[in-house]
Structure formats: C-alpha cells, structure tokens
Amino acid sequence: MAAGPPPPLDPPMLPAFREEGFGDKFLRKTRENPLVPLGCLCTVGALTYGLISFKKGNTRRSQLMMRARILAQGFTFAALLGGMVVTALKSR
C-alpha cells in the first residue's frame, strides 16, 4: 500500500464576497425591476395629493386621488408578481 502525501492542514481559500449595502442592493433591484419603484412613487404621490385635497375640503378630488392610489397599488403589486415570475423563469 503506497502512501501519498498528507492532506493539507489549512482548508482551501474561498473567494471573499463584498458585503452589499442598502444603496447597492436598492440600485441592483431597481435595475432588475424598474416598475416597482415607479409604482411606489405613483402610490405615494396619489396619496399625498389626495390628503392635501381632503384637508382643503375638495372631497371630489380627494376621492378621485384615493381611487388613483388603489390603481397605483394594484400596478405595483402586478409589477412585483411579474418580476418574480420573470426571475423564476430566468433561473431555469
């Protein structure tokens, strides 16, 4: 029985990955699915304008903006689902 060289004592060096910060992750996710931040901005804009209209007493405009907010939320949700489907299909 021939004896080979002994195994190395130190484990092989693994590649070091850089820690991804919040800004880097936000930019990467925005590039992957740019419709989600757009939908979020539209939702916040409709909500803000609706609340301002409500405070001024313009109830008709306020109701219109609340309906627009619901549509923007639906768009954002659809963009999220679409992005998840595209990512799942891309990984296959």
Annotated domain spans of the chain: 34-91
Candidates 74, 50, 44, 52; CA nearest to 63 is 50
At residue 1, the pLDDT reads 59
- pTM beyond 0.75: the answer is no
At residue 45, the pLDDT reads 97
Using CA atoms, how far residue 82 sits from 28, 34, 43, 89, in Å, is 17, 11, 18, 11
Per residue of the chain (92 residues), give pLDDT as tens: 567 887 777 767 777 778 889 999 989 989 989 999 999 999 999 999 999 999 999 999 999 999 999 999 999 999 999 999 998 998 88
